[in-house]
């Protein structure tokens, strides 16, 4: 069980968090206009990376805030933690997050 540093509350056990799938998934803003294939890709074609992957997490049993984690899915190493709306590149290498 990982220890995750919530950008709002600090270090807590993984049990307080919920995993929310990959981060930076762009919802098509004009959904009606995209093709079936594009829509299907948005819904189903997720990368499922073995290695470094940006993910969404929610401190659901704490402050209730969503944020992003750049995590190695193989070693579970957390490379960076950053708030919603912050770009993944800006946060890369910022080991403490927040």
Residue ranges that bind other proteins, judged by CB under 8 A: 1-3, 13-14, 20, 27-28, 30-32, 34, 36, 39-40, 43, 56, 58, 60, 64-66, 75-76, 84-85
Which among Zn ion, other proteins, none contacts residue 36 (Cβ within 5 to 8 A by kind)?
A: other proteins
Which of Zn ion, other proteins, none does 92 bind, CB closer than 5 to 8 A by kind?
none
Give 82's contacts (C-beta < 8 A, 6+ positions apart). Answer: 7, 67, 68, 70, 88, 90, 91, 94, 97, 98
Rounded to whole angstroms, what are the CA distances from 56 to 2, 37, 67, 82?
A: 15, 25, 6, 10
| Between 1 and 48, CB nearer to other proteins | 1
């Amino acid at each position: 069980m990982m220890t995750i540093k919530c950008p709002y509350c600090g270090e807590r056990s993984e049990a307080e968090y919920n995993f929310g799938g990959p981060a930076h998934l762009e919802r098509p803003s004009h959904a009606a206009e995209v093709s079936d294939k594009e829509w299907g890709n948005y819904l189903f074609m997720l990368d499922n990376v073995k290695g470094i992957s940006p993910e969404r997490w929610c401190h659901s049993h704490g402050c209730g805030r969503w944020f992003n984690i750049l995590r190695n899915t193989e070693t579970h190493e957390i490379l960076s933690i950053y708030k919603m709306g912050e770009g993944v590149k800006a946060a890369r290498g910022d080991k403490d997050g927040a």
